[in-house]
Amino acid sequence: MFPIRLLWASPDVNPINGKARSIPALNPVNMYGRVFFFSWFGFMIAFWSWYAFPPLLKEVIAKDIHLPQHQLANSNIVALLATLLVRLVAGPMCDRFGPRYTFAGCLLAGSIPTFCAGGITNTGGLIAVRFFVGILGGSFVPCQVWSTGFFDKNVVGTANALTGGFGNAGGGITYFVMPAIFESLVSNGLAPHVAWRVSFIVPGILIVSTAAFMLLLCPDCPTGKWSERMAAAELNLRRASIDRGTVVDVKGDITDKPAHHDSPSPSLGDDKKADPLRYSDREAQLEPDTLIESARGEVIQKPTLQEILKVSFSPQVIALGAGYICSFGGELAINSILGNYYIKNFHLSLQEAGNWAAMFGLLNVAFRPLGGVVSDLAYRYTDGSLWAKKLLMHAYNIIAGGFAIAIGLIDPKTPSTMYGLIAGFAFFLEGANGLNFGLVPHVHPYANGIVSGFTGACGNFGGIIFAIIFRYHGTDYAKVFWICGIMFIAFQLAVIWIRPIPKGQIGGH
């Protein structure tokens, strides 16, 4: 059973890489808890602002600036295109400058067009602002790289899924908050023409404040400055190689209690069968020399263009990208139209449609983390099998495709049927997101930023593909749902056979 006090207790730390073996989610005083908080909160605020337009776009902004339906769809596509480009760049930047500075840079750069949203007067202005606001979506990459750098392999799937899931919830929160801010301003005397413009000041202020606190209160990595990570890693590895019997102990799994630091650490030569929980993950069963070499292979290296291309187009990274094209790509496209779909089928008000559409994004709080937990449990109970993680990721996407086909073919006309199918769809689609980034840290771990950036960009690429399909089918949302479902299944079957990690890879096992 999971010890509840791990949520606030100082975590046991892997002495070789400095990563935490549990997640002190409720302890912002602890360094690991603080980084965990800013990882998800920073991405949530970014996601809120990135998706601040859709809740007001059709019923308020489009009417104010006389935006036709096809240009509305174009603006959704442009917002995703910018994020795709930023994610491709943000990955190598994380490896070069560190995820904290990259994260804060994305937030501060994205705050500028957010503040400028009030100056939109025509279609061209809307498309330009939405393009640059798309910078905020790129913050997902440093969010995941930062989290990966602070949490060890036994909990990294859960940590990444929690930070990503809580962050993605911003896409649901915005459907509650932006209409509420707008209607509050209108009720206090502002004309709708002015009120929707003023409402964008709120996320702008929050973005700048979050970036400032992130820079002031958090470190780059567990060993301190990003520029010193190589020296710190080599020092830890040297100590481990000198004192193999104690220092290389990396006990723990997701249910372990923090160690008492005044007691001696058991050696790798102890009887591992005597305490199956302590040695349940595969890493702790490696020989000391293999363990040290594996840790060396996981130290982030400064990227080169040749290495970026080599890693990005390796079969394993392409398989991760194919999974994220469907899971996160599908989520992005559906977030943009779901409120309008509800209005079409059920004739709801703007606020009512926004509230129900928000639930799809808010389910990320539960379903994406659950995917990460499932990933970590599969890794634990299959003795470190990465095939288990990978096959679960594909299975979730395939089942999500089945739900999308069902929604499209039924085109529900009763709210209970629609909301039930959407909830089932969200369970597998958003869970697949968590499973995907539960596997990412294992693939080319020395280039985690590149892998995270390419995979994240693929999510936006998928969002663009599905948004284009929605754009050319107008308001025939049901038809697009079943088309997307077929595509989900086809993408997964095309890459399911690829090995989880490259043959002979050092580290990441």
Distance, in Å, from the CA atom of 117 to the CA atom of 53, rounded to the nearest integer, reads: 9
Residue 267 lies in a domain: no
Residue among 463, 491, 471, 460 nearest 394 (CA): 491
Residue 233 lies in a domain: no
pLDDT tier, 359 (very low <50, low <70, confident <90, very high otherwise) = confident
The parent domain of residue 189 ranges over: 4-225+304-495
Which tokens in the block code for residue 258? 């923090």
Per-residue confidence (pLDDT) for residue 508, from 0 to 100: 57
Residue 433 lies in a domain: yes
Residue 507 lies in a domain: no
Distance, in Å, from the CA atom of 33 to the CA atom of 147, rounded to the nearest integer, reads: 10
DSSP string, 71-122: HHHHHHHHHHHHHHHHHHHHHHHHHHH-HHHHHHHHHHHHHHHHHHGGG--S
Per-residue confidence (pLDDT) for residue 250, from 0 to 100: 41
Residue 281 lies in a domain: no
Q: Supply the CATH number for residue 392's domain.
A: 1.20.1250.20
Choose between 176 and 226: higher pLDDT. Answer: 176
pLDDT tier, 230 (very low <50, low <70, confident <90, very high otherwise) = low
Distance, in Å, from the CA atom of 386 to the CA atom of 383, rounded to the nearest integer, reads: 9
For the cut 90, the answer to whether the pLDDT of residue 79 exceeds it is: no
Residue 191 lies in a domain: yes
Residue 418 lies in a domain: yes
For the cut 80, the answer to whether the pLDDT of residue 351 exceeds it is: no
pLDDT tier, 395 (very low <50, low <70, confident <90, very high otherwise) = very high
Question: Max Cα separation, the chain?
Answer: 74
Per-residue confidence (pLDDT) for residue 242, from 0 to 100: 57
Residue among 19, 284, 300, 295 nearest 155 (CA): 19
Distance, in Å, from the CA atom of 152 to the CA atom of 441, rounded to the nearest integer, reads: 10
CA-based radius of gyration for the chain: 23
At 270-299, the pLDDT tens digits run 433 333 333 334 554 555 555 555 555 566
Contact yes or no for 65/119 (Cβ under 8 A): no
- Calculate mean pLDDT across residues 498-502: 89
Per-residue confidence (pLDDT) for residue 238, from 0 to 100: 64
Q: What is the pTM of this model?
A: 0.78
Per-residue confidence (pLDDT) for residue 236, from 0 to 100: 63
The domain total for the chain is: 1
- What integer best gives the mean pLDDT of the chain? 82
Residue 270 lies in a domain: no
